[in-house]
Structure 1
Amino acid sequence: MSDLKAEGIDADGIDLEFDGRDATLKAASGAGLSKADLDKAKDVVADVEGVRVADVDTAGLADSGTGAEPGDDPAGEPTDEPTAEPTEEPTEEPTAEPTEEPAACDVATVQGELTRILGADFIKFGRGKGDLAGSGATKVAEIAPLLAPCTDAAVTVTGYADLYGKDGQLPMLRALAVKNALVEAGVSGDIITAAGGGEGEFANRNQNRYAVIEIG
């Protein structure tokens, strides 16, 4: 339970039961926990040495409307690949002409700004998700004005996944989600290449659901 507290999780609100090496987590009576709280706790317990499987019992949850994702692996991203094909990037460029000359693009300066905005955790995605949300969408919106003037540059967006999603469509879906968001924000789609990078570089699989942007 100390591992849960170290992650900022209310361990007193969670009942943890073991059947051999298999753990089951459920909300304690009156704890008022949500499904997201239990999922976060489950990921922490799954990483504890000696635990084989961690699962959740949704009985008694305060927010019972958020069920487990279809095909979830108990210890990582879904093992079933998304059935939706990656959407093609828009084929038409924005028709509106700029009212003034765009600022000059200095590739080295822009890359420095990209590194600053992306930070250590890059553009994050949810477990098993290929769509932008939260801080990831905010970062892309901040980056788009930097790339819009760089019409002669080469921009590469690379998506990654954890061990359980690295061989499927998730890496490319994440790269395409970032590319499409940049195009919608005014960046030329002709300068952006989307690529799937497989498994992320972090030791903790929970950090390996991300995308990066580079300019050259």
Structure 2
Amino acid sequence: MNNLLYINWDIDPVIFSLGPVKIQYYGLIFVTGLALCYYIIGHIYKKEKIYTPDAMEKLFIYAVIGIFGGARLGHCLFYDFEYFSSHIIEIFIPFRENVNGVYEFIGYKGLASHGGAIGLFIAMLLYSRKVHIPFPKIIDIIAILAPLGGAFIRISNLMNSEIIGRPTDLPWAFIFRYVDDLPRHPSQLYESISYFIIFLMIYSLYKYKRQLFKVGSYFYFGFR
């Protein structure tokens, strides 16, 4: 096998360190995607005539808590329950006890996207009651931006060399050096590109044809 034919992916997930704190591509890209979604939602709120500074401020708070809280709990409960059931405090704080009994900063490495989706759904239900905006309208707006957020999340997974694809001999295969030496499908890129295309489709329908769609249509289309 000639590894020169493939893309050698050996990027360090850590951009730089500040003492015990590590700044990683995953978190930076994740937050960048959320910030872009929040910015676009502001424009949609104005177009829908539901924009107020208070509504946007509360949207930010509820969304962040829902996404990160749900994503963290989803990982701990579904993927690493055996460990976290005995280390419950570590679910909520970004520290882990090492072999010497000393707690080290590790950040929130475990985030499950479907847990984040569930957390966001619940948070938006509470948010709609708080700001008195109909829940179907809010979830419809969120559905427009959800694929864009998903695209950024999958790029984050790529930077972490996780959610890798099956082995292949295609010329655009990636060799994820932090995992193994096999050329594999860059499934993160496939998904990211797909999500971005879906976002462009839904957002274009909203921008140019929104008068043709009833409330709930974007959520249904995005869910499908």
Greater helix fraction, Structure 1 or Structure 2? 2
Bigger relative contact order (CA 8 A; separation at least 6): 2
TM-score, normalised to structure 2's length?
Answer: 0.24
> What TM-score results when the alignment is normalised by the length of structure 1?
0.25
More strand by proportion, 1 or 2? 1
